[in-house]
Amino acid sequence: MKGYTPENLRQADEMTMRALGIPGVALMEKAADALFDAIKPQLRRDSKIVILCGKGNNGGDGWALGMKLANLYYNVVCVPLFGDSASYDAMYYFVKCRECENMGYPMRILDACDRRLDAFGEIKTATVIVDGIFGTGFSGEIDRGTLAADVIELANSVTCFKVAADIPSGVDALTGRCAAYTFRADITVSFAKIKVGMLSYPARNLCGNITVADIGIPEQIFDSIETKYEIADTEAVRKYLPARHPESNKGTFGRLLVYAGSPEMTGAAHLALSGALRTGVGLTVFAGDLHVTSVLQHRLSEPVYLPVSDTDEDTDKLVEYSKKCSVMLIGCGLGTSDEVKKRVIRLVKECECPIILDADGINVLSDNINVITEAKKGILLTPHPVEFSRVSGLTLENICDNRIECTAEFSKKYGCNILLKGAGTIICSADGRICINPIACSALAKGGSGDVLAGMIASFAAQGVGLYESAVIGAYLHGCAGEELAREYSEYGVMPSDIPEHVARMLARK
């Protein structure tokens, strides 16, 4: 499905108000209703709800909730972190809350800028804390020592139920980056749509359970908004996966050439081949040294085997063979010797089919990554963060804190497709599209899982699916398989070799 940015949501708000005449305060009221529904199961008559309100529309959602709760005679404390300053629509509900306070409703508004200790005391005794400080327009840092930083730090330390209005304060809704002081929610009530940054890590860890609330923006408005972002789901699988007609033959579904494995890592090659064979490729050809091919021939009968040595003549043979192939997968357990490096560089430059580089296929290019710009038919890299750090020159910390941004910039710089593995896998296309796979499953955090994924992606690409689209399908099915297998074996007990057959069963259900 389409993924939406903060700017997309701002556009949708404006279009709704302009085209349908729905005022901003009406959208805030809907947001307040959704927040109330989220906290209602936690409420008792003696509950204290502390609402942290910023000066923008996110604070307005908090003020609207405060008014609703006060009218229902719940004990509400609103903490305006920036004094009485508020956006135009937010001011409407701020004034309403003042009226509730003056009329004797159980509503208290703290002048938090002058009474910091009073605010801290209310937070420490809260039953529910609602975060409405910063909204989806936030980026950057929250300065240490500011009231916002201190309040967020204290709220995170209190044992009570915590809800974020639209997005936890401190999260960048576009990139998924989190400020040093970021609200940690039990539930995030995302208004209208999930924002793409919320599904990427580290933000996803701080959102808790995410619920999406309808606040009255018609779906037709979102359909009309252009976005380069996508969220992987079953809809994407159905859209991108090719149909299989009864009159088909093996040639219909492509020829995959796999160059992988080494005497120390025959298992990586086996797992990659298994991932490919279970996901529909017509013909799989395995190229590897004589030891690896002899081992694999006793384990898998389906591939065609093409033993190759380290000679230039055999490299010529692989280049020539690539002319008959739909795609070539290079990497999985290949090793990083000088001979391998020399061959991979030649294959990238000279092969006459699209290329997928995984694992050691990426590692050997760490000091020569510009070569990927010379690929003739398109290229996809599938690194994990450490491998990505080697080829990009970025620190691991920077990559993990800015997964979307780092991946997209690399893809743009080198004109390549790239899949950054890990929880919340990011996939970027050479033409600028970005997909977030929302699945995170520790059952897949095992050596060999990535080899299976590479084989799956290569299989879909061989069947005529684009490199980016193949990565989207592969990452989503791989993640779903991990989740389903974990329910059977536990996240401890799933083995990468369990994945290919389970994916095949999943495809039977599509």
The helix/strand/coil state of 23 is coil
The confidence score (pLDDT) of residue 82 equals 86
Confidence of residue 63 (pLDDT cuts 50, 70, 90): very high
In 222-273, where do the E strands start and end? Answer: 229-231, 255-259
- Would you state the structure tokens that stand for residue 18, as one six-digit string? 């302009």
Task: Measure the CA angle with vertex 379, ends 428 and 250; round to 5°.
Answer: 110
Confidence of residue 22 (pLDDT cuts 50, 70, 90): confident
The end-to-end CA distance of the chain, in Å, is 16
The confidence score (pLDDT) of residue 188 equals 98
Contacts of 42 (CB under 8 A, 6+ apart): 127, 128, 161
| Averaged pLDDT for residues 204-209 | 95
- What pLDDT digit, counting tens, does each position of 453-463 carry? 999 999 999 99
The confidence score (pLDDT) of residue 352 equals 93
Got the DSSP string for 58-107? HHHHHHHHHHHHHHTT-EEEEEEEEEE---HHHHHHHHHHHHHHHTT-SE
pTM of the model: 0.93
- Would you state the structure tokens that stand for residue 204, as one six-digit string? 């996803």
Query: What's the burial of 471, exposed, middle or buried (CB within 10 Å: 0-12/13-18/19+)?
Result: buried
Residues paired with residue 165 on neighbouring β-strands, in sequence order: 189
Q: Give the distance between the most distant pair of CA atoms in the chain.
A: 90
Confidence of residue 113 (pLDDT cuts 50, 70, 90): low
| Averaged pLDDT for residues 125-137 | 96
Work out whether strand 327-330 and strand 107-109 pair parallel, antiparallel, or are unpaired. Answer: unpaired
Question: Residues of 173-211 as b/e, b for ≥16 C-beta within 10 angstroms?
Answer: bbbbbbbebbbbbbbbbbbbbbbbbbbbbbbbebbbebe
The confidence score (pLDDT) of residue 115 equals 57
Contacts of 168 (CB under 8 A, 6+ apart): 131, 182, 183, 184, 185, 188, 203, 206, 207
CB 385 within 8 A of CB 422: yes
Query: Distance (Å, rounded) from C-alpha 441 to C-alpha 448?
Result: 15
Query: Distance (Å, rounded) from C-alpha 66 to C-alpha 96?
Result: 9
SS (H, E, C) 142-198: CCCCCHHHHHHHHHHHCCCEEEEECCCCCECCCCCCECCCCCCCCEEEEECCCEHHH
Order of strands, sheet of 2-3, starting from the edge strand that comes earlier in the sequence: 2-3, 229-231, 434-436, 426-428, 417-420, 379-382, 355-358, 327-330, 255-259, 283-288, 304-307
- What pLDDT digit, counting tens, does each position of 257-306 carry? 999 999 999 999 999 999 999 999 999 999 999 999 999 999 999 999 99
pLDDT greater than 60 at residue 117 = yes
Query: Distance (Å, rounded) from C-alpha 344 to C-alpha 362?
Result: 9
CB 127 within 8 A of CB 49: yes
Count of helix runs (H) and strand runs (E) in the chain: 20, 18
| Averaged pLDDT for residues 118-136 | 93
Query: What's the burial of 243, exposed, middle or buried (CB within 10 Å: 0-12/13-18/19+)?
Result: exposed
- What pLDDT digit, counting tens, does each position of 315-350 carry? 999 999 999 999 999 999 999 999 999 999 999 999
The helix/strand/coil state of 302 is coil
C-alpha 390 chain-centroid distance:
21
DSSP label at residue 496: G
Helix H or strand E segment including 51 = strand 48-53
Got the DSSP string for 94-161? HHHHHHHHHTT-SEEE--TTT-HHHHHHHHHT-SEEEEESS-TT--S---TTSHHHHHHHHHHHS-SE
- What pLDDT digit, counting tens, does each position of 80-95 carry? 998 777 788 889 999 9
Residues paired with residue 7 on neighbouring β-strands, in sequence order: none
Residues paired with residue 434 on neighbouring β-strands, in sequence order: 229, 428
